[in-house]
Amino acid sequence: MKKRRKRLLLFVMVCAAMVIGYSFLKTGDSETLPAKQAAGNGAVESGGEVSGNAGSEPDGDATAEGNAAIGDSDTNAGTATSPTDKPSQDAGAGEGGQTEDGMAVIAKPEEMAVLVNKQHKLPEEYNPSDLVYPDVRFIFSEKADKRKMRQEAATALEKMFGAAESDNILLAGVSAYRSHSTQKTLFDRYVKRDGLEKARTYSAFPGTSEHETGLAIDVSGSDGKCAAADCFADTKEALWLEQHAHDYGFIIRYPEGKEEITGYQYEPWHLRYVGKDLAAEIAESGETLEEYFDAVPVTK
Ligand SMILES: [Zn+2]
């Protein structure tokens, strides 16, 4: 009798162990799922279909228009600067003369730490020479200029997106490089339509957009929701970037509460590559690039 009971108990225990084991396996599987999906998405990235098209901007004129209207294209309504502001004489990349409206022309635009803002303008003829297509997910699928970044920044971006993915954070590029001629065409069209003064309040003056350096990129989650929009600030992707971007050499270029200094509203999606050392220093100090170079606040 006792023996039978023991056997029964043993049988029950074995069954229980099997059930527990099975459910454990299941959990393990589902945990690995996001990674698998991520890998799938990543593969798609290089050119195929990308989910979340709803959030992506259409092409052509509308894209440019849309981009420019958002702060990100480095334009911002309400933060227009006075053209009479004096540029700083000791801003990092050095000065290469001044434009007729008082902006400083950057002497070494190819430096990774280059300061480009509403007072520091890229030289008219500058085009980055080492632009490449970073192998990361974007919210659109076409092979456009706005995927491009300079080699060093592109490599860092790939590492950062990979690290985020390991933390189950799926990032996507929204817009990176924009050529000087694209920015100029866009701006000229606005000036024609609204006049210079008004155009300057919502569109970046050619040569003053960081996107022209090939070192800046706007980033969103892979669903493209809140792409270059204020609501991005509340996403887990934004939180991850705030905590980790500097490990890969990127800074949140337009932080919250620094609008007067940078001349831009808070843009948690706009990342700027400056190199690991400087990014770490800036993340540590909480400074902006302007403060780091002791440049005069843009809207002072
Ligand atoms: Zn941007």
pLDDT beyond 60 at 73: no
Residue-wise pLDDT tens digits, 172-200: 999 999 999 999 998 999 999 999 988 88
Of 3.40.50.11540, 3.30.1380.10, 3.90.1010.10, 3.40.50.2300, which CATH number belongs to 40-292?
Answer: 3.30.1380.10
pLDDT beyond 50 at 296: yes
What mean pLDDT, rounded, does the chain reach? 77
Q: How far is the CA of 254 from the centre of ligand 1 (A)?
A: 9
Q: What is the mean pLDDT of residues 219-247?
A: 96
Residue-level pLDDT at 289: 97
Residue-level pLDDT at 42: 32
The model's confidence at residue 204, banded by pLDDT at 50, 70 and 90, is confident
Q: How far is the CA of 189 from the centre of ligand 1 (A)?
A: 20
pTM over 0.85: no
Closest CA to 204 of 128, 121, 129, 267: 121
Sequence spans of domains, the chain: 40-292
The model's confidence at residue 300, banded by pLDDT at 50, 70 and 90, is low
- 120 φ/ψ angles, rounded to the nearest 5 degrees: -125, 110
Residue-level pLDDT at 101: 72
Contact 53, 140 (CB under 8 A): yes
- The catalytic site residues sit at 267
Residue-level pLDDT at 29: 36
Q: How far is the CA of 7 from the centre of ligand 1 (A)?
A: 70
Comparing 95 with 169, the larger pLDDT belongs to 169
The model's confidence at residue 6, banded by pLDDT at 50, 70 and 90, is low
Helix (H) or strand (E) holding 254: strand 250-254
Residue-level pLDDT at 179: 96
Residue-level pLDDT at 56: 30
The 3-class secondary structure across 159-227, one letter per residue, is: HHHHHHHHCCCCEEEEECCCCHHHHHHHHHHHHHHHCHHHHHHHCCCCCCCHHHHCCEEEEEECCCCCC
Contact 109, 123 (CB under 8 A): yes
Q: How far is the CA of 269 from the centre of ligand 1 (A)?
A: 7
Residue-level pLDDT at 201: 75
Comparing 10 with 249, the larger pLDDT belongs to 249
Q: How far is the CA of 90 from the centre of ligand 1 (A)?
A: 25
The model's confidence at residue 9, banded by pLDDT at 50, 70 and 90, is low
Q: How far is the CA of 74 from the centre of ligand 1 (A)?
A: 6
Of all residues in the chain, the percent with pLDDT exceeding 70 is 67
CA atoms within 13 A on the CB side of 217: 35
Residue-wise pLDDT tens digits, 10-59: 555 544 555 444 444 333 333 222 333 333 333 333 333 333 333 333 22
Q: How far is the CA of 19 from the centre of ligand 1 (A)?
A: 52
Q: What is the mean pLDDT of residues 195-208?
A: 87
Q: How far is the CA of 84 from the centre of ligand 1 (A)?
A: 25
What is the distance between the terminal CA atoms of the chain, rounded to a whole angstrom? Answer: 92
